Amino acid sequence: MIDYKVKAAELFGQQVEGVSIDELIEMVEIPPNSEMGDYAIPCFKFAKILRKAPNMISEDISNKIATGDYFEKAVNTGPYVNFFVNKKFFAESLLKEVFDKKEKYGSKDIGQGRKVVVEFSSPNIAKPFHIGHIRTTVIGNSINKIYRFMGFDVVAINHLGDYGTQFGMLISAYKKWGDKEAIEANPIPELLKLYIKFNAEAEENEEYKDEARYWFKELENGNQEALELWQWIKDVSLTEFNRVYKMLNIEFDSYAGESFYSDKMPRVIKELEEKNLLVESQGAQIVDLDEFNMPSPLIKKSDGSTLYITRDIAASIYRKETYDFYKNIYVVGSQQNLHFQQWIKIVELMGYDWAKDCVHVPFGMVSLEEGTLSTRKGRVVFLEDVLNKAVEKTLEIINDRNPNLEDKEEVAKKVGIGAVLFQELYNNRIKDYTFSWEKTLSFEGETGPYVQYTYARTCSILRKYQEELDTDIDYSLVTGDKEFEIMKTLEGFSDIVESSMNKEEPFYITRFIVDLAQKFNRFYHNSQILTEDKELTKSRILLTYAVNTAIRNGLQLLGIETPERM
Ligand code: ARG
């Protein structure tokens, strides 16, 4: 795509000396309304050098600029030189580009194959995959897709919480009260029950705690019985989680969870010792982070067992050695900010300069509106139930709006789940938010169903057109205000994806899609697309195709499906 900012800067640069093109590019502004032009460069800065008033400078420069293909004219308004894009030329280069790039439209090869690790979701085995996990799962998956789209070779990792003292508890509890059949029939709730019961008993009875510690230690030592039970608990839990991942269309390249690092721990401990970073404290080992104003974390307990943080240190070293990452991203809630600051600092103290490439991407909390879901399985709200409920409610809406739709169930799945994902990615990730059905499932306003519906509308128009798409059209026919607004939005897509990536903020893309859909609908309600006039139709169809492509590519980056009929 032509970069109009650069072009404007270059034309301006031919008229003034002593300022670099890069500096001028930095100075380019987008005027608040398009009547004032599409790009503007202010002249205040040159008043001193040229010994002239900014208004005079801008007048001078705009008179001298020879606009060429890219701009229709350059006009001064006060101290600004305003550039008006040549709309016909703009339309042609943009629409041809979308047509050529198709599912790649919006991408840039920034990564050039470099490796990025994106860790997300990472639920705890034997515990519910609850509504709180939705955020890491959905935001993480989108970040994963955005990096891929921008040319990075991404390794998506699910760092399962499949290790730690709680497994000692589960094993002890199972040995006391476990019912294999009940668990297999209804794994997570049954395992949760065992866990809760054990915790309650352990409050009363110290022996339980010792027993749990004993069994975790045995697990770490490779005791056959402990290993088998643990593996079984892990298998039944994963079957449950995979159902959710399947609903969300999410795939991981690696499920190396916490347990994966158990045999890599002695090396970490040894290394920390050799680098004089371990300090003894009441029989246990800590790293002293006092001087960095952080509490000093426990690295190894007095009984020799390791901790969550130790496993994170081991995991990062393993990832560097295995993938040689350019960036190592962790999509984990902001409650764990301190944990990440601590271990990344420790890795830095160990002398690894790649500590700076480990990035914690935190997010705020989600809460449910009162009465959102009856919690028949206890206090926790299962993610799967939320998704199923969304699909169910969407099916009701479809039955109402479009009862003869083919494959209603399939469409309801894509729309219902898409609606939840869209809400999830609608705001700045750090913001806490409250989930509400009304907001999520509405076909109006800034929602998933609204943009999917707009997408389906573009599909329907393109279906009706029946002829081959053609880029050999009269581009002056799509230069009206509404059309131009759409095209200017489209043109910014790749920059938006790029900032989404740099800031790990998918919501820029969500907002872009809403904006584009609204502009397209304004155009659609105002002008017929399939008309009697063949040339006019051809040009509007190509514009519709471009919108269709950008919405699809955008939704794909959010992990949202795009049904062609709704
Ligand atoms: N399993 C943890 C939890 O559910 C999240 C793991 C985060 N990732 C990490 N590398 N520590 O809270």
127 is an active site residue: yes
Residue 431 shares a structural domain with residue 544: yes
Report DSSP state, residue 434. E
Do residues 66 and 215 share a domain? Answer: no
Judge residue 181's burial from the number of C-beta atoms within 10 Å of its C-beta, 0-12 exposed, 13-18 middle, 19 or more buried.
exposed
Q: Write down the pLDDT at residue 377.
A: 42
Residue nearest (by alpha carbon) to ligand 1 atom 5: 122
**Where residue 35 sits, what CATH number does that domain have?**
3.30.1360.70
For position 477, which CATH number holds? 1.10.730.10
- Asked whether residue 396 falls in the same domain as residue 532, the answer is yes
Q: Which atom of ligand 1 is nearest to the CA of 315?
A: 10
Q: Give 18-65 pLDDT, tens digit per residue.
A: 889 999 999 999 998 888 999 999 999 999 888 999 999 999 999 999
Flag whether 237 is in a domain: yes
Taking the CA atoms of residue 243, residue 247, residue 253 and residue 254 in that order, the dihedral angle to the nearest 10 degrees is -30
SS3 254: strand
pLDDT of residue 128: 83
| Predicted local confidence at residue 369, as pLDDT | 72
| Confidence (pLDDT) at 371 | 61
**Domain final residue pick, 204, 231, 251:** 251
| Total count of domains within the chain | 3
Same domain, 72 and 171: no
Q: Is residue 291 part of a domain?
A: no
Q: Is there a single domain that holds both residue 506 and residue 405?
A: yes
Q: Which of 5, 130, 209, 300 is catalytic?
A: 130
Whole-complex ipTM: 0.99
**Do the beta carbons of residue 285 and residue 299 sit within 8 Å?**
yes
81 and 168 in a single domain? The answer is no
Q: Which two structure tokens, joined as six digits, stand for 507?
A: 């919501």
Asked if residue 452 is part of any domain, the answer here is: yes
For residues 552 and 417, membership in a common domain is answered with yes
Our answer on whether the CB atom of 259 is closer than 6 Å to any ligand 1 atom is: no
Does 225 map to a domain?
yes
- Residue 371 to residue 426: CA distance in whole angstroms: 22
The confidence score (pLDDT) of residue 338 equals: 98
Residues 511-530 as b or e (16 or more Cβ within 10 Å = b): bbbbbbbbbbeebbeeeebe
What is the spatial distance between Cα 461 and Cα 473, in angstroms, rounded to a whole number?
18
264 domain residue, yes or no: no
Ligand 1 atom with minimal separation from the 339 CA: 11
The finding on whether 330 has its CB within 6 A of some atom of ligand 1 is yes
63 and 174 together in one domain: no
Selection from 306, 289, 363 nearest residue 329 by Cα: 363
Ligand 1 lined by 258 (C-beta under 6 Å): no
- Domain, as residue range, for 443: 391-558
Please say which residue of 251, 280, 301 terminates a domain: 251
Residue from 199, 189, 323 nearest 253 by CA: 323
Phi-psi map region of 248: left, alpha, beta (phi>0 left; psi -120 to 50 alpha): alpha
Ligand 1 and 165: CB distance under 6 A: no
pLDDT number for residue 172: 95
Residue of 332, 343, 346, 359 to test ligand 1 pocket, by largest number of atoms within 8 Å of CB: 332
499 in a structural domain: yes
Locate 356 and state its tokens. 């700076």
- Is 525 labeled as catalytic in the residue annotation? no
71 part of a folded domain: yes
* CB of 123 sitting under 6 A from ligand 1: yes
| pLDDT in the model for residue 373 | 54
Report if residue 54 sits inside a domain.
Answer: yes
pLDDT at 372: 60
The residue out of 65, 85, 105 marking a domain boundary is: 85
Instruction: Give me the catalytic one of 127, 197, 264, 393.
Output: 127
pLDDT under 50 in the chain at which residues? 374-378
**pLDDT (0 to 100) of residue 443:** 85
Query: Is 45 designated active site?
Result: no
Q: How much of the chain, in percent, has pLDDT values that exceed 70?
A: 98
Q: Could you give the CA distance from residue 443 to residue 566 in angstroms, rounded to a whole number?
A: 11
Q: What percent of the chain has pLDDT over 90?
A: 84
